[in-house]
Homo-oligomer: A and B are copies of this chain.
Amino acid sequence: MGLLNDTITKITARDDDARARAKARLDQLTMPHWALGRLMDLGMDLAGMTGEMPPPVKRKTIVTMAADHGVAEEGVSLYPQEVTAQMIYNFVNGGAGVNALSSITGARVVVVDMGVKADLGALDGKIVDKKIAPGSSNIAIGPAMSAEEAVRCVEAGIEVALDLAESTDVFGTGDMGIGNTTPSSAIIAAITGKDPGEITGRGTGIDDSQLERKVSVVRKILGVNKPDGGDGMDVLAKVGGFEIGGIAGLALGAASARKPVLVDGFISTAGALIAGALAPRSVDYMIAAHLSVEPGHAAMLEALGKRAFLDMDMRLGEGTGAALAMTLVDAASKVLTDIATFEEAAVSTADK
């Protein structure tokens, strides 16, 4: 618990002074006041998070956390479990969605094995090995992991963040794990108190009868495990997953290093909810990249007090939403640095 507690202690409030300096410049740009709207809000937030004006944003890292889930045996996904490991190879070979979208802004993709149910030794040096166990246990019949494993996976995420922080200005989160929308739905239900029928979605694309079954599985998961919604670590251990804990840790570690974190979609936001339960101030360093098609995502973002930037009907995960939203980080940065003020450009100001 040493690293976890130390990290939480180190998370400070955003820097009001850097934020004010960003606002002061944005207020004077050659345009009607705040006419670039949310790009200007984002620029101000980036300055507050990093404590620098202009905020550094050049070095971008998407961290894709992968793990398997015992609950996959309940038939909650359309895909067989071996797809998790197959997709890791696809990430490493540069052939996945997250690779394609990261390339737009030159973001690096770092893949972390948090608990894939396969021997990934052949990828030694190409992925980060933080494997807690080969897949979490089936949460429809008991807890996902022990309390000790829950701490270990969050701390593993913190370690990844701290290792990468020196070479990263902005983080993005991502996930891979067949079956992982089910624990994510259970996490929202546990933390927000929403009914599973409202916040459980089609994941990889299941049909109506499969969805009905998935909702009943989520209800069963909550009944069997009785997670304490006020205790992030209890929720993670009982109804979470290793990559979700890793994402929570990444968010905590990044916040402790004053690095903005673009939170991807449904599974990443479940990790963000866990992080927020463990350290409410970590939420100040999170940016909601996009709104997922999964119906529970809006409820999660509401719980975090965030409004997503993109609404593209995406539901892939991997970090694809975070990778796409990196373009908005670049845009917000350009607005802060590349637009002339009224004085610089000798443009007449508004009549008062």
Q: A30-B90, A350-B78 are in contact. Are A344 and B95 (CB under 8 A)?
A: yes
Q: Is A200 an interface residue (CB 8 A)?
A: no
Q: Scan residues 90-127 of chain A and give those whose CB is less than 8 A from a CB of chain B.
A: 90, 93-97, 99-101, 103-104
Partner of A313, one of B38, B203, B340: B38
Least CB distance, A316 to chain B, in whole angstroms: 4
A30 and B93 CA atoms in complex are apart in Å by 13
Known: A78-B351, A79-B348. A95 touches B327 (CB 8 A): no
Please choose the segment from A131-139, A243-251, A329-337 that sits at the chain B interface, where 4 or more of its residues have CB less than 8 A away: A329-337
A212 at the interface (CB under 8 A from B): no
| Other-chain contact of A350, B32, B79, B87 (Cβ < 8 Å) | B79
Q: Determine how many copies of this chain the complex contains.
A: 2
| B-binding segment of A12-20, A160-168, A213-221, A304-312 | A304-312
Q: Is A315 an interface residue (CB 8 A)?
A: yes
Residues in B neighbouring A345, C-beta threshold 8 A: 86, 89-90, 93, 95-96
Number of A interface residues at 8 Å Cβ cutoff, please give it: 61
Q: How far is the CB of A350 from chain B (nearest CB, A)?
A: 4
A-B pairs with lowest CB-CB distance, top 10:
A37-B313, A95-B340, A100-B338, A327-B327, A35-B316, A32-B204, A100-B334, A78-B350, A38-B312, A86-B347
Q: What are 27 A-B residue pairs whose CB atoms fall within 8 Å in the complex?
A: A30-B87, A30-B90, A30-B97, A31-B316, A32-B79, A32-B316, A36-B97, A36-B314, A36-B316, A38-B313, A79-B351, A83-B347, A86-B346, A86-B347, A87-B347, A89-B346, A93-B340, A96-B339, A100-B335, A101-B331, A103-B334, A104-B334, A204-B350, A309-B312, A310-B310, A312-B328, A324-B328
* Known contacts A35-B316, A104-B331, then 14 further A-B pairs from the complex at CB < 8 Å, ordered by chain A residue: A30-B97, A31-B96, A32-B203, A35-B205, A36-B97, A36-B314, A36-B320, A78-B351, A79-B349, A80-B351, A90-B340, A100-B338, A101-B335, A324-B331
C-alpha spacing A75/B87, complex, angstroms: 60
Over the window 32-44 of chain A, the binary record of Cβ atoms lying under 8 Å from chain B Cβ atoms (1 yes, 0 no) is 1101111100000
A29 at the interface (CB under 8 A from B): yes
Whose C-beta in chain B lies nearest to the C-beta of A98? Answer: B339
A82 within 8 A of B: yes
A293 within 8 A of B: yes
Q: Is the interface of A mostly helix, strand, loop or mixed?
A: mixed
Q: Which of A100, A314, A340 has the most CB of B within 10 A?
A: A100
Measured CB to CB, the residues of A under 8 A from B are 29-33, 35-39, 78-80, 82-83, 86-87, 89-90, 93-97, 99-101, 103-104, 203-205, 293, 309-316, 320, 324, 327-328, 330-331, 334-335, 337-340, 344-351
A13 CB, nearest partner CB in chain B, Å? 25
CA distance A99 to B310 in the complex (A): 22
Closest to A315 in B: B35
In the bound assembly, the distance between CA atoms of A288 and B312 in angstroms comes to 13
**Bound CA–CA A222/B327 (angstroms):** 41
* CB pair A80 B32 closer than 8 Å: no
